[in-house]
Structure 1
Amino acid sequence: MNLDFPFRCDAQGRSAAADDEKHVRDLIEQVLFTAPGERVNRPTFGSGLMQLVFAPNSDALAAATQVTVQGALQQWLGDLVQIEAVEVRHEDAMLHVTVHYVLPRTQQRRVAEFGRAV
């Protein structure tokens, strides 16, 4: 059983569960939006993506961020998912991240899009 993210209770008052596909998407979101140093027992967990908020927007920064995010996803989720591509866009006050990946168990390609106000 995989716990749903964010944690919540289901209709029976138990911990809500997520299927494998939703669980992988939840894990990707956690890696993307967790800052290194945020988790006490895993100080290197995360991607540092939110630091983009404080940097000037440029093509070089977007490229560097894509490499950093893809590396973090490979490091923390490499045994669960095959990351094919990561796209990072910064538009006005929104940060858009698109992750293209393959679920190894089923060989299904998936695309997850995330957006956060910065």
Structure 2
Amino acid sequence: MTNFGFPFRLDGRGRTAGADADDHVKQLIEQLLFTSPGERINRPAFGTAVRQLVFSPLSDEIASATQFIIQGALQQWLADVIQVNAVEVRAVDSRLQVTVQYVVRRTQQRQVTQITREV
């Protein structure tokens, strides 16, 4: 099975860009985190409210709420792909830093994905 690259783009040959298995899982996490609920027509509950939280004043409370939202969404939407071990959210200056530690169910390999967004 071919995994499409995210964001959708064309490769050097003019074909749809693909992603290897590890990159695909990381891209699934990123898609989930930065899709707002209601954005997908056939899956209105898919996504998180992280994009809205990013524009709130950064604080430990916002980081804690974001961590709770992310962990719940990962377990709801990607439980068949990954087992979430830990989610850490830190507000650093004007950046929101999200670290997800997980095990890929297919390979049983531990992975860490870190995503940082500027506010």
Q: TM-score, normalised by structure 2?
A: 0.90
- Where does residue 51 of structure 2 map in the other structure? 50
CA displacement at 1:74 relative to structure 2 = 1.0
- 2:69 is paired with a residue of what secondary structure? helix
- Where does residue 11 of structure 1 map in the other structure? 12
Alignment of 1:61 onto 2:45:
no
Percent identity of paired positions between Structure 1 and Structure 2: 59
Q: Number of residues paired by the alignment?
A: 118
CA displacement at 1:40 relative to structure 2 = 2.0
Structure 1 runs (4+) deviating above 4 angstroms are none
Aligned partners of 1:20 and 1:55: how far apart in 2? 34
Aligned partners of 1:9 and 1:56: how far apart in 2? 37
Is there any run of 5+ residues in structure 1 with no aligned partner, and where? none
Aligned partners of 1:17 and 1:62: how far apart in 2? 33
Alignment of 1:98 onto 2:94:
no
Cα deviations across residues 62-85 of structure 1 (Å, max 9, x unaligned)? 222211111101111110111111
**Letter paired with 2:78:** L
**Letter paired with 1:51:** Q
Is there any run of 5+ residues in structure 2 with no aligned partner, and where? none
- How big is the alpha-carbon RMSD for the aligned residues of Structure 1 and Structure 2? 1.4
* Contact in 1 for aligned 2:36/2:51 (Cα 8 Å): yes
Cα deviations across residues 51-70 of structure 1 (Å, max 9, x unaligned)? 22343444333222211111
**Letter paired with 1:110:** Q
Aligned partners of 2:118 and 2:61: how far apart in 1? 21
Aligned partners of 2:117 and 2:85: how far apart in 1? 22
- Where does residue 73 of structure 1 map in the other structure? 74
Cα deviations across residues 21-52 of structure 1 (Å, max 9, x unaligned)? 11000000011111111222211111111222
Q: TM-score, normalised by structure 1?
A: 0.91
Which region of structure 1 is more displaced relative to structure 2, 46-55 or 62-71? 46-55
